[in-house]
Amino acid sequence: MKALHASKGRKSAQQFIAEGPAAVLAALSSKRYPVLSLYVTESGAELLPQSALNRATYLSEKVMAAISTVENAQGVLALCAIDSGNEQNDSVEVFQKIQSPLIYCFEVNDPGNLGTIIRTADALGTAGVLLSPGSADPFSPKVVRSTAGSLWNVPVLREVDIQSAVKAARSYKRKIYAADGRGSTALPQISGKDALWIFGNEARGLTKEVTSLADQVVAIPMKGRAESLNLATAVAITLFHANS
């Protein structure tokens, strides 16, 4: 179990840990990343419906604390499967859903940001979230917690090369927009509902090589004095606009 706290262990076992009632309930009700084992403490059991507890193994608070990925465990933990077959199926469908925007994260490194992006994508509507090589692991404990269960609701594809993503998007007549504060096109000037939206690294943004692949480089107008927006906030504003 401890091995799953690290990326190498998750990759080897093709499993990851979901903690807390929100994540576990989402996992139990979804075919994406199915629950392999469920563990609860006496207090944690009170956070789940009786129907979920039929398959649970009860642990002491001490044992739960030992396997938990957080300092203050809630007493609800599940082992979930990383099924590559789901990603293969999603890899076609996400591009076909042309009435919903599609998010591409280029080397997004912060787990909290990535988790919030996935949660936002679930709340505001998107065809899926694509992750470039070098992006944060969507199955890391911090990302899973930050999604608050949305990881099971939104297709998330890993290790997607930017060239391949753009080529696939164009084959379905999607526009390609790169989000950048220096962009010459203001967000209100376009729709973006049928687009592939490319967002860059938290510190470095997007490279010229990446922005050159886009039909337009789009900026969110800002009236205040802040130089930039938090990445997850920029994704939220963009998705809200695209789906309005």
Q: What CATH number should be reported for the domain holding residue 60? A: 3.30.1330.30
Residue 89: per-residue pLDDT: 74
Q: What is the domain count for the chain?
A: 2
Q: Which of 55-69, 76-90, 223-237 has the lowest mean pLDDT?
A: 76-90
**55 and 140, same domain (yes or no):** no
| Domain shared by 138 and 208, yes or no | yes
Q: Which residues of 223-232 are buried (b: 16+ CB within 10 A; e: fewer)?
A: eeeeeeeebb
CATH code: domain of residue 107: 3.40.1280.10
Element (H, E) at 159: none
Among 61, 81, 101, identify where a domain stops. Answer: 81
Domain that holds residue 75: 2-81
Query: Who's near 97: CB < 8 A, 6+ residues apart?
Result: 127, 128
Is 99 found in the same domain as 31? no
Domain boundary among 50, 81, 112: 81
Task: Tell me the per-residue pLDDT of 54-75, one tens digit each, with 9 for 90 and over.
Answer: 999 999 999 999 999 998 889 9
The model's pLDDT over 144-183, given as tens digits with 9 standing for 90+, comes to 999 999 999 999 999 999 999 999 999 999 999 999 998 9
Same domain? 120 vs 221: yes
Parallel/antiparallel/unpaired status of strands 175-179 and 195-199: parallel
**Domain boundary pick from 55, 81, 107:** 81
Helix (H) or strand (E) holding 137: none
